[in-house]
Structure 1
């Protein structure tokens, strides 16, 4: 446990929570507009998927600098500066004139989101150590609350005819200002972990490859399933169920509300039943949700199914990040950085699903989702290093 005054650690927790919140708002402010953007730029599903995948590609590219930023300036400055720039990048996104300029703006967003995400989680885990209790799942729950707020605002703006430029410019400026405020709260005394490398691994703490790969696999699965609903949920409602374009955001909001609930109770559930059991039950729940939505393509079944997915995958990414950060035989921050970047491979699903949807149908393309969800059951058994 890091020796930090509890009052200061508690204040830093609020600051990190605010950074998680605005990170989600930035992401969610654009998602309900996906259908509108696809139609505005006349993109087919395959091309649209490629455009959306520019974000995860940017996030993977950020791996070249994320670890160096943590070591050179620390987790808090990395998180705060990335958050400010991510907000301002919404203005750039609003200026996109076609699919390719949108892809470029999303590529930049991916870089900033990745460095901010790694900074947020590294500092959040540092606050957790200072407080001496688990808070990481709750911080991800705050992220989900931010996604609901951002998604709801975007959906309301869309339904009321507010131009996308007005919505994104306003939101971007607010995010930059809130990030500055968070920067005042998150400050903690300098510490060797996770901002600086710790001592080299010893024989008593050897790196275990297969459990670590299983941990990363759980994170990838969580990211992929989250991205499937976020990217294709609204389009599924419009193209398959027959809902109106202005109601497309309902899929994202239903999913995020359930995801928030799952993350807010996730710490308590893990403390009571253990991480492995919570992950396995969640995987079955997510698979059931996808099967319900795909087998009975109606509005209520789809929204119910997406909500079940949200609850089911709630602890996957937080658990994977915490376990990777605690992986033996790795320098401080290395496991977290690797897992944060590699799990973003899951966000590269849109072009594959889009291409398959154009060749067959979106319903068939989404059948990959329940299979991915059930893979977590096996991964949780292999991942003996997931902290209980």
Structure 2
């Protein structure tokens, strides 16, 4: 048999069992609901700001304080998953998250808004970590990259939620009514997904590292990694790699916040856009991110996570710079779309790399990286809000191209592997 007759990996890959395929769709549904439930709120932010009477600084501070809940609760995600399993934690806490979103809709003061966002972010952090952990279980059974598609479903949920929120704003649906409908609908779907998730312990699919593999993040065999000082069960080298992966998500989260928190307000304040058109800034970002994530597995298999991240950072930087230099509704939507596509693969890439790091206890790497992601959502809203009050929101959003530089700086920790097989 010559080289042309050698069967490819795809041709000899065993069929995926029905249980595993169902689990993939169930995990995808949890990702979808996680995106839709919260993102339906975002187009209603201008109404909340107006009804409470907040300045950009006060609003940015309320949104920025919210992730403190995520920073605190995320520290307990690994312990909860160890005790109850990632499937049960993801579904239960997602229902709690949808309940907290109703409180956001009902906000009547700055303090209420800040506390309800903190509770929402606390639930979201645990859901985020546990659904990614369960998604990694399913990916290992598929033996190929499918993590980007999960995050694609999150983005599709975000777009769906954004469209529903924008339409509700245009129609004048009361905020409380949107919150009640969301709780009933999203909560019921989350509860129904549980029966299809994988049973058993979360470590079932993990296999001991056989040794170094060229080009992957943190390529240090467990048996030769430094065994001196250890923090949370990790060597200093492994901890450094996890922190670097976390910094990638700090900048990715900051970029997403540009569309989530400020997109609608930017369109309203700069172009006096209608409520529906204002909501399209967020939809443009998430819509492009959705496309980037559903196509991302094929791109990553060809280029590797590192090259894909760097290409996306350059495109995002160029698109947003164009939007701010030549501000029109069309260029603004193009700019938000560019940054959405640019960060599309960063979350799945960083979570995968953290979960695969040798010498990192199960659940710890993905928890720490998820915790760092919350820093971006915590730090940037108050900064952008304060700059907007001094310079206008148009100039404050020049922070977004700066985030792209941060991605370029830390993306070297991501994997260079192309067409990798997931074991």
> What is residue 59 of structure 1 aligned with on the other side?
70
Please tell me whether Structure 1 or Structure 2 has the larger radius of gyration of its CA atoms.
2
- Alpha carbons 2:288, 2:338 under 8 Å: kept: yes
Instruction: Say whether residues 1:330 and 2:354 are aligned partners.
Output: no
- Confirm or deny: 8 A CA contact 1:280 1:376 kept in the other structure: yes
Q: Which residue of 2 aligns with 1:35?
A: 46
Q: Does 1:321 align with 2:351?
A: yes
Structure 2 length normalisation: TM-score? Answer: 0.86
> Which one of the candidate residues 73, 83, 93 is aligned to 1:72?
83
Equivalent position of 1:204 in the other structure: 224
Q: Deviations over 1:105-144 (max 9, x none)?
A: 1111111101111110000001111221211110000000
Q: Is 1:98 matched up with 2:109? A: yes
Q: Distance in 2 between matches of 1:245 and 1:117?
A: 29
CA contact (8 A) 1:9 1:188 kept: no
Q: Per the alignment, do residues 7 and 105 of structure 1 end up closer, same or farther by CA in structure 2, a change over 3 Å counting? A: same
1:380–1:32: structure 2 CA closer, same or farther, 3 Å change rule? same
Which one of 300, 310, 332 corresponds to residue 302 of structure 1? 332
Gaps of 5+ in 2: 1-13, 210-220, 227-236, 419-423
Partner Cα distance (1:61, 1:7) in 2: 38
Q: Which whole-Å CA distance do the structure 1 matches of 2:128 and 2:32 have between them?
A: 11
Residue pair 1:75, 1:119 contacting (<8 A) in 2 also: yes
For structure 1, which segment, 322-331 or 118-127, has the greater mean C-alpha deviation from structure 2 after superposition?
322-331
Q: Which residue of 2 aligns with 1:368?
A: 399
Superposed displacement of residue 259, structure 1: 0.5
1:130-145 matches, within 5 Å, as: 130-145=141-156
2:410 is the alignment partner of 1:379: yes
Aligned equivalent of 2:231: none
1:160 aligns with 171
Deviates more, 1:139-148 or 1:213-222: 213-222
User: Which structure 1 segments of 5+ residues have no match?
Assistant: none
For residue 17 of structure 2, what is the aligned residue in structure 1?
6
Moved over 4 A (4+): 384-388
Quick one: distance in 2 between partners of 1:180 and 1:275? 33
Please say if residues 122 and 194 of structure 1, whose CA atoms lie closer than 8 Å, have aligned partners that are also in contact: no
Q: Is contact 2:286-2:337 (8 Å) kept?
A: yes
Choose between structure 1 and 2: higher helix proportion.
Answer: 1
Shift of 1:246: 4.1
Correspondence for 2:262: 232
Q: For structure 1, which segment, 259-268 or 100-109, has the greater mean C-alpha deviation from structure 2 after superposition?
A: 100-109
Deviation at 1:256, TM superposition (A): 0.9
Whether 1:250 aligns to 2:289 is no
Q: Which of 347, 350, 366 is the matching residue for 2:381?
A: 350
In the TM superposition, residue 191 of structure 1 has moved relative to its aligned partner by 4.6
Question: Would the alpha carbon gap of residues 379 and 260 (structure 1) be closer, same or farther in structure 2, given more than 3 Å must change?
Answer: same
Q: Is the 8 A contact 2:306 2:415 kept in 1?
A: no
